[in-house]
Structure 1
Amino acid sequence: MQPADLDVFDLRLLAALQREGRAANAALAERVGLSASQVSRRLAQLERSGLIERYAALLKPEAVGLSVQAFSNVSLERHVEELVHGFEQAVARHAEILECYSVTGEADFVLRIVAPDLKAFADFLTQRLLRIPGVRSVRSSIVLHRIKQTTELPLDRVGTR
């Protein structure tokens, strides 16, 4: 995907949306220096172009009873299309897996997993993740304390037209 052709107002608008996705167009207009109708048109265009993927509420996992978070490095037995595709499909079916990345290095995939407690995490690992066909090994790190987590992209590093 090519980088979007964004001007300074698009970047300001996107930055404001990243901080407060529920802001009204009038409030966004005030923050970025445009009229509410201009903001509305720009938002519609950014959504149509696929630049804005979706809107979401960010929940605190602990507040809903998911107090264990782990990063798991998964290695497959072999790198054949059938095993990789099967693994990716299995990952998509497990709600406990919030993110999955295909990576370089010692592991083939890195997963971010949540669970209510350590027992539930261990059960998920042994009863589900390790039973996916082709999984050779899983090495997990349990999060002790979150230092930084953001969904905001550094738009000040993006060039403008």
Structure 2
Amino acid sequence: MPYIDLDAIDLKILGALQADGRLTNQELADQVGLSPSPCLRRVRRLERDGFIRGYRAVLGREYVGLGLTVFVDIKVEKHSRENATALQEALAAMAEVVACHMVSGTADFMAEIVVPNLKAYERLLSEKLLTLPMIGDIRSNFSLSRVKSDAAIPLTHLKRDEVKREPDC
């Protein structure tokens, strides 16, 4: 289980930075009700402890020419640790794979792939995916429209009970 020791201010910091990772320390401090120095110390601790894993710009896929999103279900040919590891490494190395999960059910892996168009996906499929010897089956699902992506992760399950309790006697 992950280490979780966050107070209400930590949760406010995480929420604010998920909403806008470009906030200055002063703006963040004002939003969470701290002075800048303690706010910066908390942010550095959250980064050091792995709660904040990085900062990046979220690009509009269609604006950079990546108009097709494909969800690909992949079955491993012969189940073994070596095949699973090799497939994970191969998928992680492909720039077109923007997310990948090992899953249960009819597939072993589900990859989210972004490419400019159907022709580019056909090329990726035939020149990269189908050349991997550990793949037994591939099923492609094409996204018709994106309803939600790049959302902030929910933190409501971490909120502490604000009611003070009397100690047990």
TM-score, normalisation: structure 1:
0.95
What amino acid is aligned across from residue 77 of structure 1 in structure 2? E
What amino acid is aligned across from residue 93 of structure 1 in structure 2? A
1:4, distance to aligned residue in structure 2 (A): 1.5
Q: Which one has the largest radius of gyration?
A: 2
1:111, distance to aligned residue in structure 2 (A): 0.1
1:149, distance to aligned residue in structure 2 (A): 1.4
Paired residue for 2:164?
A: none
C-alpha distance in 1 between matches for 2:3 and 2:146 = 31
2:151 paired with 1:156 = no
2:12 paired with 1:12 = yes
Which whole-Å deviations, capped at 9, do the CAs of 1:1-22 have from their partners, x for residues lacking one? 4242000000000000001001
C-alpha distance in 1 between matches for 2:90 and 2:2 = 30
* Equivalences for residues 122-137 of structure 1 within 5 A: 122-137=122-137
C-alpha distance in 2 between matches for 1:82 and 1:30 = 51
| SS class of match (2:4) | coil
* Equivalences for residues 11-160 of structure 1 within 5 A: 11-160=11-160
1:159, distance to aligned residue in structure 2 (A): 3.3
Work out whether residues 71 and 113 of structure 2, in 8 Å CA contact, stay in contact via their aligned partners in 1. Answer: yes
| SS class of match (2:113) | strand
Paired residue for 2:165?
A: none
Work out whether residues 5 and 160 of structure 1, in 8 Å CA contact, stay in contact via their aligned partners in 2. Answer: no
What amino acid is aligned across from residue 132 of structure 1 in structure 2? L
Which whole-Å deviations, capped at 9, do the CAs of 1:47-87 have from their partners, x for residues lacking one? 11111111111111111011111110000112111111111
| SS class of match (1:75) | strand
CA RMSD of aligned residues (A): 1.2
| SS class of match (2:90) | helix
Following TM superposition, where does structure 1 have runs of at least 4 consecutive aligned residues deviating by more than 4 angstroms?
none
Work out whether residues 58 and 150 of structure 2, in 8 Å CA contact, stay in contact via their aligned partners in 1. Answer: no
